[in-house]
Amino acid sequence: NVGIGTSGTPAEELEISADAPSIQLSSSNTNGRNYGFQSTNSGKFAFYDGTAGVNRIIIDSGGLATFSNGIIQELEIKFILY
């Protein structure tokens, strides 16, 4: 297990501990954009557009998602692994 900013043994394969931990994916292509994921200080999970500097989707602890256009929806997310 790998820990970044953790104290002690990480609980998962990758654990990042910070005030508002985030992961950013930065494109090196001239037409690319930067996107990221963040665990916010208010207990929400955000998908943000680092190029535009805005959150695109914010999910609260109850599973409600707010989209950047102001629409609020309850999400059911399923992952399919191949």
Q: Taking a C-beta distance cutoff of 8 angstroms, is the pair 39, 47 a contact? A: no
pLDDT tier at 71, thresholds 50, 70, 90 = confident
Q: What is the pLDDT of residues 30-50, one digit of tens each?
A: 899 999 999 998 989 999 999
Summary mean pLDDT of the chain: 86
What pLDDT does 11 receive? 87
pTM above 0.85, yes or no: no
Tell me the average pLDDT across 20-36.
Answer: 91
Question: What is d(CA 81, CA 24) in angstroms, rounded to the nearest whole number?
Answer: 23
